[in-house]
Amino acid sequence: MLIRRLRRRPSAAAALLAALALTTAPAALGCGRTTTTEAGDVGDPPVASAPDFTPEAQAEGSALTVETATTIEPTTSIAASSSAAPTSEPGPTFSSNVAPIDPELGSAMTGVSWRPGCPVPLEDLRRLTVTHWTFDGTTDVGTLIVHRDVADGLAGVFRRLFEQGFAIRQMVPVHTFGGTGNPEDGADDYASIEADNTSAFNCRQRTGGGEFSQHSYGTALDLNPLENPYVTATGTTSHSKSEPYLDRSEDGQGVISSGGGVEAAFAKAGWQWGGNWSGVIDYQHFSVNGR
């Protein structure tokens, strides 16, 4: 008889569970946050909702620990974020600029690489700056003085050389090396070559004399002159640093190869290579008319 009476009446533990069920129900319908519920004074819960309990459960005491189910909203894992592949920084990019000869540059050129009587006036020349790779794997900005009609085309050539990774020792206007003492010889081309300097305009007689060099028109360029020497008909060079490069059987840094990317880049712009000459061969030389 005692057992049946206990089963008809809800125990204190059952009442507590029912009350907690009512207080935690809204959390299960919440917005995904972690919710913690603590037991406390909950009043008198409805008797009808309490489940049956055995006397054994009643005997264990009225203090119960109740765990509520929780929902954890998704978060970004710190470990996953830190282990993600790092974004690579952008590499060097090519840029170029074409500008008229300003008064300061014109003054520096006058009496050195340009003089009155040269076949082109200063107004027809342009200052071309281009990004290029150096021999140590960095980039630099070089400057050429060229005729205005070829400036944009040359910018495209040097863009292609940059994309090929072709290295250029240095590139400064030839008047930087001073004059020769003879105005007809223009700037000191020999000193420029010894410095392995890439240059274009220089109002001077052509090698061997008799007429203006194509450099005097701003339509010729010498590229890495030590690695790509001017070779006489007897197979010699006047620059001892160029002697290792008389043998053209192997490629090297800054070397222009027959049929290679450098020749192709200039050919695309309509320039011809002195490396294809017979007799005297000028491996450093590119020009519009092939002379």
104 and 69 inside one domain: no
Strands (E), the chain: 96-100, 125-133, 139-147, 220-222, 230-231, 272-273, 281-282, 285-287
172 and 119 inside one domain: yes
280 and 192 inside one domain: yes
45 and 187 inside one domain: no
pLDDT digits (tens), the chain, 291 positions: 433 443 444 454 444 444 444 444 444 334 443 333 334 443 444 444 444 434 444 444 443 333 334 343 443 333 333 444 556 778 899 999 999 999 999 999 999 999 999 999 999 999 999 999 999 999 999 999 999 999 999 999 999 999 999 999 999 999 999 999 888 899 999 999 999 999 999 999 887 667 899 999 999 999 999 999 999 999 999 999 999 999 999 889 999 999 999 999 999 999 999 999 999 999 999 999 999
82 assigned to some structural domain: no
251 assigned to some structural domain: yes
CB 131 within 8 A of CB 95: yes
112 and 244 inside one domain: yes
263 and 125 inside one domain: yes
37 and 178 inside one domain: no
Query: What total of structural domains would you count in the chain?
Result: 2
**Residue 264 domain boundaries:** 96-287
125 and 200 inside one domain: yes
161 assigned to some structural domain: yes
